Homo-oligomer: A and B are copies of this chain.
C-alpha cells in the first residue's frame, strides 16, 4: 500500500477501535457554543462534517443517511403538510423534506446557529440552497424547549441530532419525557423518525434502549437501519406513529407515492429499499427484545465509552 499522505483524521470509536481517514484539506475547524465543528476534505469521502470528533455526514454518502431518515416517515403519513425538523444543521434533512410536494411548511430548529451558518457557507452540496425555499422556517433554540412551549402541531417530526454524549447538546432528546412531549405535538396520523445510533453487534444496548423508550410512549414503533459507509457501521433509525405501521407499506405503494409526490427523486430509497430497511436480522431482533432499558431524564444514556 503506497501511503503518501501525511494528514489524517482519526476517529476513535472506543479505546481499541479507530478509523484513520486521509485528509486532503482542512476547511473548517471551530468551537461553537455547543460543540466543536470540523469540515475536512477527504480523499475517499469528499467533504466530511465532523461534530465533537464524530463524523456526521460526508459528501459521498450523505444521501443514504438523509434518504433513510426522511422518506420512510414522509411515506408513512397520508398527507405530510407540516413538518418539524429538530437538529439537521447541515440542511440535507430539510432538502429531502422539501422534495415532498405535500409539504406546506418545514420548520427546522437547531440549537447551534454557527453549525448552520458554516454549513450554509461550506456545504452547498448538502443544502443545495433549500434554506431559501419559501416553505422553510428556521429557528435557533433548544428543540425540547420549543416543543414544551409551542401550541403548534405537526404531521411529521424528524429528530436529526447528534448522539447522546455526556454534556453534549443532545442527551436530553432521547428520553421518555422528551418523546412524551413530542407525541403531544403530533397531529392525527402523526409520525416521527429519528436517528438512533450504531447497530453494529457490539453496540446494541443504546439502540435497544431507544426502542424500549419509544415503546413506553407510542402505540407503533418500528426500528430500521442502513449501513453508512463513512460511519463504518450500519446506522439505526426509529419510527413511531400514532397508529399506522410503516412496515406494512408495499413496495408498489412507496414507488407510486415517490413518483407522484417527490420532486427530484431519490438515489438510495425506493419501494424495495423501504422493505429492506425494516427487516432486521434474528440476533438484532433478539437484542431489541432483551437488551434495552427505558431512558429517562434522570437516567439518561450515553454512547461514549
Pairs of residues from A and B, 4 with the lowest C-beta to C-beta distance, nearest first: A16-B22, A276-B279, A16-B43, A26-B26
Known A-B contacts A18-B20, A273-B281, A281-B273; the reply to A6 vs B2 at CB < 8 A is: no
Q: Give the complex CA separation of A202 and B26 in angstroms.
A: 22
Contact across chains for B282 and A273 when beta carbons are under 8 A apart: yes
Query: A112 an interface residue at 8 Å Cβ cutoff?
Result: no
A29 to chain B, nearest CB (A): 6
| Apart from A6-B9, A14-B44: 8 A-B pairs, beta carbons within 8 A | A4-B53, A7-B7, A15-B43, A17-B43, A24-B29, A227-B227, A232-B232, A273-B281
Query: A125 an interface residue at 8 Å Cβ cutoff?
Result: no
Query: A138 an interface residue at 8 Å Cβ cutoff?
Result: no
With both beta carbons as reference points, the residue of chain B lying nearest to A200 in the complex is identified as B229
Q: How many of these chains are in the complex? A: 4
Contact across chains for A6 and B15 when beta carbons are under 8 A apart: no
Contact across chains for A7 and B20 when beta carbons are under 8 A apart: no
Contact across chains for B11 and A5 when beta carbons are under 8 A apart: no
Q: Give the complex CA separation of A64 and B266 in angstroms.
A: 30
Query: A129 an interface residue at 8 Å Cβ cutoff?
Result: no
Interface of A is mostly: mixed
With both beta carbons as reference points, the residue of chain B lying nearest to A54 in the complex is identified as B6
A131 to chain B, nearest CB (A): 26
Q: Give the complex CA separation of A15 and B10 in angstroms.
A: 13
Contact across chains for A20 and B22 when beta carbons are under 8 A apart: no
Of A2, A17, A19, chain B has the most CB atoms within 10 Å of the CB of: A17
Q: Give the complex CA separation of A201 and B227 in angstroms.
A: 10
Contact of A26 among B1, B25, B227 (CB under 8 A): B25
Q: Give the complex CA separation of A29 and B5 in angstroms.
A: 12
User: Which residues of B sit under 8 angstroms from A139, Cβ to Cβ?
Assistant: none
Known A-B contacts A19-B232, A276-B281; the reply to A201 vs B26 at CB < 8 A is: no
Q: Give the complex CA separation of A43 and B61 in angstroms.
A: 29
User: Which residues of B sit under 8 angstroms from A234, Cβ to Cβ?
Assistant: 227, 234
Contact of A60 among B9, B63, B202, B282 (CB under 8 A): B202
Query: A146 an interface residue at 8 Å Cβ cutoff?
Result: no
A234 to chain B, nearest CB (A): 5
Contact across chains for A279 and B282 when beta carbons are under 8 A apart: no
Contact across chains for B4 and A15 when beta carbons are under 8 A apart: yes
Of A9, A61, A229, chain B has the most CB atoms within 10 Å of the CB of: A229
With both beta carbons as reference points, the residue of chain B lying nearest to A275 in the complex is identified as B279
With both beta carbons as reference points, the residue of chain B lying nearest to A255 in the complex is identified as B282
A197-225: which have CB < 8 Å to B? 200-202
